[in-house]
Amino acid sequence: MSKKQKMSGAEAFVECLHKEHVEVIFGIPGGALLPIYDELYDSDIRHILVRHEQAAAHAADGYARATGRVGVCMATSGPGATNLVTGLANAYMDSVPIVAFTGQVPTSMIGNDAFQEANITGITLPITKHNYLVKDARTLPDIIKEALYIASTGRPGPVLVDLPKDVQTEEIEFEYPKNIKLRGYKPTSKGHPLQIKRAAKAIMEAERPIIYAGGGVVISGAHAELLALAETLMAPVTTTLLGIGTFPSVHPLSLGMVGMHGTKYANYAMTESDLIIAIGARFDDRVTGRLDGFAPNAKVIHIDIDPAEISKNVAAHIPIVGDAKNILKELIKELKRKPKSKWSEKIEKWKKEFPLEYDRKSKEIKPQYVVEQIYDLCPDAIIATEVGQNQMWAAQYFKFTKPRTFITSGGLGTMGYGFPAAIGAKVGCPDKTVIDIAGDGSFLMNSQELATAVINDIPVKVAILNNKFLGMVRQWQELFYDRRYSATRLDTSPDFPKLAEAYGALGIEVTKPGDVRSAIKEALASDKPVVIDFQITPEENVFPMVPAGAAINEIIDYGEKI
């Protein structure tokens, strides 16, 4: 192709995506995007037609988390664009690189309340890393290149590009930019050497250090460095929900997840530590509990690429801004190997004394048992989850050993996320088994995507932990509202296996513990999308649990009463 070639904005759009190696788009067409969809008809870019725009954003999100690449979604103007909002907010809260393209009414009609017009750049301003309204097709190549760059660099996040219909039909001389120059956007990647030396000194002096790893470790690909740091220091490692998989949960130094539904020993270790090495984590409220009771005797080393996160919730004594992988490499060079200590022995004792527990002799199906059996039969699967009890049981009982294998909605806590995210993850990683561990309430919110999975031959597996309740809300009603189950019963849920079969998927119902393993094996052996309906104990709760307003060492454990 010559340096400059005349083409329409829609042709330029497709050419730009080719230049950026975009292989797949999740979306739904509409009138304001017809020029682009007409060009996609002859393109080798794979377009996956979802059944709801929210699912397009979640699928792009799951694709991005599983692959590390930018996920792309698209929706038409007005309600199509506004239906992306929840997915964009979800990606923004969890620092996921997606780019959303939206159709818009012609530029001459903007602001006139035209049919299917919505000010989507205004609406999404608080929930995107950046957004654009393209007013001139000649700027389109620069904007698309910038959008994908901004989404994937520094602290990743969603970017939205709004495309008026006349911009798509306008003819331009196409020339793709070689470089990006963004004034004021220069993310810091290398940590300050003096701060790294200060951190090393504090670490070597600490007697009770703990490593607290978050989603930033996944994003930076710093899992090998995290493992090296822990083994050099013989320091225990606890993770946030989004940090799961960054450190092998089967490793002797692993404490699992910390916080509201974290392990008892992780919470005790965090509380009694004298030094917290926080890496790519933001000290959110689900981790810290009551702030005045959080690690009262600990100094804090806080490593994060986003300076706005440092000292936002918990004051950092030694802040280090930059990419976790780069910083950990330099930090390890400054450290000497530490021997096993009394601190290690104390934590080992806690781990033996306070294991995760549930009734293993029950004649009913226990959700924890289902998760354990999924792990036993498919330990290398990518696990997506919905939100609520199913999410916590997956986090607690599946032994994750690799990053980018746990796909879940952390900050926003979006019900309906897991199934479309699993579809996106499977598209990005076709050779991997992808399983959505779901609740009946969450799955219903985007169950229409069974059509997407079946028609596009995306054989994801869904394990519904069906308790016929909005389970986590019901748990709080049981514990704190005298079992007044207001608007949480789902007694009229559909027959999920029949629903699956109606879409052309395989449906399996399981009512006995003895049938759990065979059902999972049948699902794994199938080349179709599969929905397994596990009829679990209706009033099973997630434990351990830190009540709202309590310190993280004030824990309700299995079998205990408030």
Q: What is the pLDDT of residues 374-430, one digit of tens each?
A: 999 999 999 999 999 999 999 999 999 999 999 999 999 999 999 999 999 999 999
Domain boundaries, the chain: 5-174, 193-353, 367-535
Q: How large a percentage of the chain has pLDDT more than 90?
A: 97
Q: How far is Cα of residue 159 from the mean position of the Cα atoms in its chain?
A: 17
pLDDT at 308: 96
Which pLDDT belongs to residue 561? 75
Please name the residue that has the structure tokens 């002096």: 205
Assigned fold of 193-353: Rossmann fold (3.40.50)
CB-side exposure of 265: number of CA atoms within 13 Å? 22
pLDDT score of 3: 59
Output the pLDDT for position 391: 98
Handedness of CA 541, 544, 547, 549 (dihedral sign): negative
Task: For residues 450-465, give the mean pLDDT.
Answer: 98
pLDDT at 559: 82
The Cα 227–Cα 403 span in angstroms is 12
DSSP letter (8 states) at residue 44: S
3 is catalytic: no
Handedness of CA 534, 537, 543, 548 (dihedral sign): positive
Residue 260's nearest CA partner among 559, 541, 465, 538 is 541
Number of Cβ atoms within 10 Å of the Cβ of 224? 12
pLDDT, position 24: 98
Overall size of the chain counted in residues: 562
CA 352 to chain centre: 31
Is 115 annotated in the active site?
A: yes
Q: What is the mean pLDDT of residues 502-519?
A: 98
pLDDT (0 to 100) of residue 491: 87
DSSP string covering 299-362: EEEEEES-GGGTTSSS--SEEEES-HHHHHHHHHHT-------HHHHHHHHHHHHS-----TT-
Cα distances (angstroms) measured from residue 547 to each of 272, 273, 327, 356, 553: 19, 22, 35, 17, 10
145, 472, 477, 535: the catalytic one is: 472
* pLDDT recorded at residue 294: 97
Structure confidence at residue 144 (pLDDT) = 98
| Res. 1: pLDDT tops 50 | no
Q: What is the DSSP letter of 549?
A: T
From the candidates 26, 117, 146, 165, give the one annotated as an active-site residue.
165
CB 46 within 8 A of CB 21: no
Closest CA to 218 of 241, 197, 234, 200: 241
Which of the following is catalytic: 116, 175, 312, 354?
A: 116
- Mean per-residue pLDDT over the chain, rounded: 97
Res. 4 pLDDT band, cuts 50 70 90 = confident
Partners of 462 in the β-ladder: 436, 531
CA distance 49 to 455: 9
Q: With 0.85 as the threshold, say if the pTM is over it.
A: yes
pLDDT tens sequence across 474-489 = 999 999 999 999 999 9
Q: Is 389 a catalytic residue?
A: no
Distance, in Å, from the CA atom of 254 to the CA atom of 211, rounded to the nearest integer, reads 10
168 is an active site residue: no
pLDDT per position as a tens digit, 16-75: 999 999 999 999 999 999 999 999 999 999 999 999 999 999 999 999 999 999 999 999
Instruction: Please give the structure tokens belonging to residue 109.
Output: 């009609």
Distance (Å, whole) CA 414 – CA 446: 11
In the annotation, is 116 catalytic?
Answer: yes
> What is the pLDDT averaged over residues 208-228?
98
CATH annotation of 5-174: 3.40.50.970
Q: Assess if CATH 3.30.360.10 describes domain 367-535.
A: no
Q: 315-329, pLDDT tens digit by residue?
A: 999 999 999 999 999
Q: Do domains 193-353 and 367-535 have the same CATH topology?
A: yes
Residue with structure tokens 């600990």?
Answer: 298
Question: Looking at residues 129-157, what average pLDDT do you find?
Answer: 98
At residue 181, the pLDDT reads 85
The three-state secondary structure class of 63 is helix
Residue from 5, 6, 115, 512 carrying the catalytic annotation: 115
